[in-house]
Structure 1
Amino acid sequence: MSDGSPSQATVLDTLNVRISAGTGRTMMFAHGFGCDQNMWRFVAPDFATDFRTILFDHVGAGGSDLGAYDADKYDSLDGYADDVIELARTLDVTNGVFVGHSVSAMIGLVVARRAPELFSTIVLVSPSPCYIDDIDYTGGFTRDEIDELLQFLDSNPMGWSQAMAPVIMGNPDRPELSEELAASLCRTDPEIAKRLARVTFLTDSRGDLGPIDADVLVLQCREDAIAPPGVGAYVQRAIPGSRLVTLDAVGHCPNLSAPASTIAAIRAFV
């Protein structure tokens, strides 16, 4: 695979960027593991007039340039944060709003520490700094459970997608949501998905919490099998001055399952 050199394509092409015609403050939406920018289709349009909204696909997802994927660069959240920083600087973003779902919530915190001038507001949707239980910390999974999930993904990516989508999405009474997520997971290049899964589920980002030079909103669903409510509360306590809003929603993807509540919480904060 290539080294992702900017000379091969601009960051706008590489990340399949879409920008609204809004002329206000910039709001960037970043999707979670196995998803793409389409997962924001029920939320982003509500802000596209009042804000200049930016949607993109992480390398390896959606309509991104798969040729830009480099295993060494993307073996940690830093590589994905590099892309966000490059994209924001290319588009002259300052004091913007960053809305990150799931693993992108943690990517947003890396960006906030490395380039604090870019985003003065950070919205963390269903964040988890660590999925593995530890002393005085409940991430929701044991290390053995995470290892089993990753082994399942290695051996049967399609089966993994079909099995995990309902767990991630929740809302068993709305099977179309799980079907959409499963289809999105299946569209992701399997080798890239395996590597990103390891970065997502094995990274311990608790060290990226703490004081941050930005206003931070933590959005947590009342039930989430992937990031239990206690995780959202942990993140809020660990970031001084941050605010926690618990949505009356189920699952790990309120941007799909509860867009109206998600929009309302973000609007009330920004």
Structure 2
Amino acid sequence: MSVNDGLARRMRLQRLHRHDDGRLLVVPLDHPVSNGPIVRDGQLDRLVGQIHHGGADAVVLHKGALRTVQPRWFRDMSLIVHLSAGTALAPDPDARHLVCTVEEALRLGAHGVSVHVNAGSRGEGRQIADLAAVAEACDRWGMPLLAMVYARGPGVDGRAPAVVAHLAALAAELGADLVKTVLPGAPQAIAAVTAACPIPVLAAGGALADGPDEALRRLDDAMQCGALGVAAGRLVFTAADPAAMVRRLTSLVHDRAQAPLQRAGDPR
């Protein structure tokens, strides 16, 4: 990595971590590729605008979605371009393939990129290799990398503390700057996972089987136990008022911070 590339990465990370508390609220909107439309009226730009007005720090989008989104939303909110894709219709719904490059994301104006890995799945080897290759490209181009890592193998408990700690370690060891994953339920287990991980851990919003209030409670627990942020998409785009939901999440992530945190690799 050249000196200039190192500066570029630090500048982009600093933009992403725009709050002094070092915490992040990321709203992933990569779901249409996996599961189908998330806005039935086709008005993705309106949804991104609501997310912006709610105070999110970043939004995750696939490259094609950017054609319908106004650039004004990214004057202060960061854009993360998702590089992985796979559908629920595939013979292996846990398979993920790279569909965009770091260079392409740079041309699109991205402030960061993200890659999805389903550890324990049949395609784990390919996905890990893809994550490592993207990490190398991010080093070359000075681009922050968010790894979205889940345990999706047969018989694997994706919330087991040892499994989650392994997922976070995988992301850090292969060069990610941030890791999003589903955290354990017990506060002590969450604290152990976040303490062992040298990069910021973002708590995944997860499914809404128990309703949004219960999802928010779990995310609040995660923040109080060492998570440095939240990455919640479904919780936002299924809400009757997405902007109001983002404001609740913004308060949960930023307003309840006890004191500024600093970790190894903190851009500040």
- Per the shorter chain, which TM-score range? 0.3 to 0.5
Name the TM-score, length of structure 2 as normaliser.
0.36
Q: Give me the TM-score of the superposition, normalised by structure 1.
A: 0.35
